[in-house]
Structure 1
């Protein structure tokens, strides 16, 4: 499916697809509602990438519908997963580069000299949200 594309265009397409799901700028009220600095940092990075890559991404409008659909599907599945990983990581500098095991698992090892890990507090459901049991 991606055989005819230039190698540099594929990463740009993936970044564009992920950035499509970036929400609007966070207001002060929303920050008080539990957004971590990592989440906000991720949003700012994606927003900055979109501004820098905007002209190059315009070329992607000519992608075949099948490819565009595949990229949008990847973004809708991978975007939330990436944000969840960002919520779990306290400081990226405390981690080694990702490692892919023989079975395909991807692991992020904490550096030996990093301070002890403190898990983030679990998110509370918003008032009025139901909890399925």
Structure 2
């Protein structure tokens, strides 16, 4: 497992170096419900190229966040799932999803958002007060 150090001394920097970017949080969110095969994961994300998905999964695997299982079958089958460390990111990913939904609703962005993992992922309680 690769150990990442912060240049600024900030733990947020370490978190972002592991799971930051455009695709990694999306990949992790789609793995919350459980194992997925490569093709299934790519179809559920939409807009990501096979090359980018492969690169991002490799980085997440190297960081110890995602586990890759190769089955000795013909044709070969490969599953991806979150490790225990990866599953510990669930509250962060759910909070990001909830924040994005609230932001989109507040500013009438491109309409309602839909996430495949939404049905199985818990939603944080609605906040009644506005935060200043």
Greater Cα radius of gyration, structure 1 or 2: 1
Coarse TM-score class (shorter-chain normalised): 0.3 to 0.5
Report the TM-score when normalising by structure 2: 0.33
Report the TM-score when normalising by structure 1: 0.32
Q: Larger % of strand: which? A: 2
Q: Larger % of helix: which? A: 1
